[in-house]
């Protein structure tokens, strides 16, 4: 089992980072191998919607995303962790998600029918999202975005953790039950069968 953690926060050591650290630690303790991608360290552009990937399933932009694509494909499970910015994903995370358009094109080339695309052969995807407010609809956009990001990767979206009311850097450390929940999530992910 190979679990990839995508650190979506522009803030090093922030709350979503700390939760993902716990989840990946739990996965390793349960026997998984883990890898990490830090969106804030990537030098990538957004998708330029050139359409080149539609013919090949490969993105033609030669930047740091070319190192990320193999990690996305090799993962049996992906945990995307991000803070909420204006009820959405941070720009750094959104750029990576948008560049998954090439993976969607790759999936369409391999799975021609809607029936084929209802089956997920790439594994499972999970979301950890942390927001400062108690807003009722705070996670609506990021959950939909995560679902379709994982769909592009041929992965099912399995839910995860959506945490409200935590803003200060490191504030999540005051919520030990939530930290334990992240650890347990990682262990559970690693304990599941790899690909669907």
What does each of the 196 residues of the chain score in pLDDT, given as a tens digit?
Answer: 999 999 999 999 999 999 999 999 999 999 999 999 999 999 999 999 999 999 999 999 999 999 999 999 999 999 999 999 999 999 999 999 999 999 999 999 999 999 999 999 999 999 999 999 988 999 999 999 999 999 999 999 999 999 999 999 999 999 999 999 999 999 999 998 544 4
The pLDDT assigned to 67 comes to 98
- Please state the domain count of the chain: 1
The pLDDT assigned to 196 comes to 46
Please name which of 74, 73, 21, 76 lies closest in space to residue 192, comparing C-alpha atoms. 76
> Looking at the domain assignment, is residue 70 inside a domain?
yes
Report if pTM > 0.85. yes
Q: Are 6 and 39 in contact (CB under 8 A)?
A: yes
The pLDDT assigned to 193 comes to 55
What domain range is 84 assigned to? 2-191
Task: Read off φ and ψ for residue 77, nearest 5 degrees.
Answer: -145, 145
What Rg, from alpha-carbon coordinates, does the chain have? 16
Q: Which CATH number belongs to the domain containing residue 171 in this structure? A: 3.40.50.360
- Strands (E) across 8-119 are located at 33-38, 77-83
> Looking at the domain assignment, is residue 171 inside a domain?
yes
The pLDDT assigned to 135 comes to 87
> Looking at the domain assignment, is residue 196 inside a domain?
no
Q: Are 5 and 18 in contact (CB under 8 A)?
A: no
């Amino acid at each position: 089992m190979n679990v990839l953690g995508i650190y979506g926060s522009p803030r090093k050591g922030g709350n979503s980072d700390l939760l993902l650290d716990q989840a990946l630690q739990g996965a390793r303790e349960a026997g998984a191998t883990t890898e990490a991608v830090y969106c804030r360290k990537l030098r990538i552009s957004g998708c330029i919607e050139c359409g080149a990937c539609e013919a090949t399933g490969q993105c033609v932009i030669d930047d740091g995303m070319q190192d990320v694509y193999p990690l996305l494909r090799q993962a049996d499970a992906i945990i995307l962790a991000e803070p909420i910015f204006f009820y959405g994903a941070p720009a750094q995370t959104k750029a990576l998600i948008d560049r998954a358009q090439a993976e969607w094109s790759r999936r369409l080339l391999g799975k021609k029918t809607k029936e084929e695309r209802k089956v997920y052969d790439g594994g499972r995807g999970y979301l950890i999202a942390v927001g400062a407010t108690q807003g009722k609809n705070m996670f609506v956009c990021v959950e939909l975005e995560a679902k379709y990001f994982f769909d592009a990767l041929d992965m099912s979206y399995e839910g995860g953790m959506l945490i409200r009311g935590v803003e200060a850097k490191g504030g999540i450390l005051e919520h030990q039950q939530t930290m334990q929940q992240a650890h347990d999530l990682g262990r559970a992910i690693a304990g599941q069968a790899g690909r669907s």
